[in-house]
Amino acid sequence: MLSRQMSDPIPPLRPLEGWHVLHIFYQIEYGQWSLLSGDEQLKAKTALTALVQEIRATPETQLLTFSVVSAKADLGFMLLTPDLHQANAFEKHLGTILGPDVLTPVYSYFSMTELSEYASTEEEYAESVAKEKGLPAEAPEVRAAVEEFRVRMAKYNQDKLYPNLPGWPVLCFYPMSKRRVSGQNWYSLPFAERKRLMGGHARLGRQWHGKVRQLITGSTGLDDAEWGVTLFSHQSTHIKEIIYQMRFDPASAEYAEFGEFYIGLQLPLDELFRRVRL
């Protein structure tokens, strides 16, 4: 009976909504890698290629591969998948697939896709449209605007919980939290004030539409900070400029605490192997 239970597949561990997200950064131990023969190295790279393909073929799962731009790490992976058991298994396999002690994890971050608590409700949007147009809330023009808002928000929420990540070359990741100090405690502010501040923050971010794509994932209770922020762009300049400008916004200037920044370049595996000298 016990052996049968142990051989049964483990039931999936899926969130009520959204996906689990892992950012993993590795240093390559070139001394260990050099101990492998040419055939062993080729076999290891072939195994990693097959594993990446297997992960990417898993339903509702995405895996990004990138070379890290700095001495903080050599290569990284970003994994999105619904089943936490699978996420954990993929993570362990990625770390050992090239051979014992070849990859040393130097940083990792665990979070989940989530919806924003500060998004406008249909009632709030209807009120703002009615006020702007000088119409009663039940006017046909207001109802039509609300219906468009409902459709737009449905897509927005879908993209937040189940994003389709772009293949844009520049990837930036950093963790962040809201400040909790005397006189600058984000969580002591009334909800309406927090929502007002985040609305201004969002309007500033929308100025970079088409230049920077952003994914904010929640990590309260899961990792050391409260959110993980992943930015994608075609230009490193755009990453630098958006982060610089948004730091002057009150939601960041007064209340944000940032962790370390990691910059990566998304690459296909054959180029990634050449870039990191495997």
Stated pTM of the model: 0.91
pLDDT single digits (tens) 139-179: 888 788 888 888 988 999 999 999 999 999 999 999 999 99
Position 191 in a domain: no
Residues 212-216 have a mean pLDDT of 95
Residues 19, 88, single domain; the answer is yes
Query: So what's the pLDDT on residue 179?
Result: 93
Does an H or E element contain 170, and which? Answer: strand 170-178
Query: So what's the pLDDT on residue 5?
Result: 44
- DSSP classification of residue 150: H
Domain of 56? 12-113
The mean pLDDT value of the chain amounts to: 92
Residues 25, 86, single domain; the answer is yes
End-of-domain residue from the set 89, 113, 137? 113
Catalytic residues: 174
Query: So what's the pLDDT on residue 53?
Result: 97
At 25, is the secondary structure helix, strand, or coil?
A: strand
Model confidence at 226: pLDDT above 60: yes
Position 150 in a domain: yes
CB distance 273 to 98 below 8 Å: no
Check residues 208 and 102 and name the one with the higher pLDDT. Answer: 102
Position 48 in a domain: yes
Residues 58-77 have a mean pLDDT of 97
The long-range contacts involving 156-161, CB below 8 angstroms and separated by at least 24 positions, are 156/119, 157/115, 160/113, 160/114, 160/115, 160/116, 161/17, 161/18, 161/19, 161/113, 161/114, 161/115
Sign (positive/negative) of CA torsion 169, 174, 178, 181? Answer: negative
Look up residue 113 and give its two tokens: 């896709």
Residues 64, 138, single domain; the answer is no
Position 227 in a domain: no
Confidence band of 223 (pLDDT split at 50, 70, 90): very high
Model confidence at 269: pLDDT above 90: yes
Position 66 in a domain: yes
